[in-house]
Amino acid sequence: MKIISRKEAKILGLKIYFTGKSCKNGHLCEKWVNDYSCIECRKQYSSKEEKKQYNKNYHIENIKRNNICCKIWYKNNKNKKRQYNREYWRNNREKITRDLGYSREWMKEWRNNTPQGQLWRLCTDTARGLNIGSVPFSKSNLIKYTPDQYKNHLLEKLLMFRTIKEAKTVNYHLDHIVPLSYIAKNIKSKKLQFCVAMDLQNLRLIPAEDNKSKFNRVDFPEVQEMIEYLWEKYDINNRECIDDRH
Ligand SMILES: [Zn+2]
């Protein structure tokens, strides 16, 4: 390898240079001009990232497999497990109630103060409104947006139609523009109902007073527009046969 300084290499437009000295990890090889890093070091770093990704994927796969195994085991050992639980509860009552207290506090904190928690609450409220029952978090892959996207979207809407001062004094409700009752009536698939209801565009914050007066009405122009938008976006007329009786 020919010795060439970084300066010279830069002038010549080369991507790598070679000082003739080894790096702090003992590699005697060229270095990258753009960030001074040793070629060998960077290679190892990126393979570390790959390894991390691999581990992550393996973990996810493993969870799926584990869940299936657990379900089968539980099916075969229902009575044994129940008996065990009952005994465990009897012997550890104090510890359990204390732990539950902790986790309840923690859950409260999580629900109220993190975007993930608030999204979870929104999901369960929406599911309840649609009469779907509970939406386990494993189904959160039905939602196409991240918690932060929801948060930012709603904050944007909030600031858009009121001044900050008013926003602080007025009590706002989170509102599904197309009402859940309409969605539940006009879409058959439960999954699709949930996706449409949770669409980012279908959510806004309105003053609590307005929410009472608008209750579940669909004859507002913005609601009609949103129905059109969402029905087209999710291709509902073609995927679903709408029941005309409603
Ligand atoms: Zn190195």
CA 6 to centroid of ligand 1, rounded, Å: 16
Mean pLDDT of the chain: 82
Q: How remote is the CA of residue 28 from the centroid of ligand 1, in Å?
A: 7
The answer to whether the pTM exceeds 0.95 is no
**CA of residue 133 to ligand 1 center, whole Å:** 56
The percent of residues in the chain predicted with pLDDT above 70, rounded, is 86
Q: What is the pLDDT of residues 213-236, one digit of tens each?
A: 666 778 888 889 999 999 998 888
- What pLDDT is stored for residue 76 in this prediction? 92
- State in Å: Cα 9 to ligand 1 middle: 19
Confidence label for 127 from pLDDT (cuts 50, 70 and 90):
confident
Residues flanking ion ligand 1, Cβ below 5 Å = 23, 25, 27, 38, 40-41
Cα 53 to middle of ligand 1, angstroms:
23
CA–centroid distance, residue 43 to ligand 1 (Å) = 9
Residue 17 clears pLDDT 90, i.e. is over it: yes
Rounded to whole angstroms, the Cα distance separating 213 from 175 reads 12
* CA 52 / ligand 1 centre spacing (Å): 20
Count of helix runs (H) and strand runs (E) in the chain: 12, 4
Cα–ligand 1 centroid distance for 12 (angstroms): 23
Ligand 1 centroid–CA 21 distance in Å is 10
Distance (angstroms) between ligand 1 centre and the Cα of 25 equals 5
Q: 2 by DSSP, 3-state: which?
A: coil
**Which segment, 11-25, 90-104, 137-151, 155-169, is predicted with the most confidence on average?**
11-25
Span from the CA of 7 to the centroid of ligand 1 (angstroms): 20
Q: What is the pLDDT of residues 163-203, one digit of tens each?
A: 666 666 777 778 888 988 899 888 888 888 888 888 888 88
Q: What is the dihedral of CA 157, 160, 161, 162, to 10 degrees?
A: 110
Spatial distance between the Cα atoms of 246 and 192, rounded to a whole number of angstroms: 18
> Residue 29 C-alpha to ligand 1 middle, in angstroms?
7
* Whether residue 244 has pLDDT greater than 80: no
Distance 10 CA to ligand 1 centre (A): 20
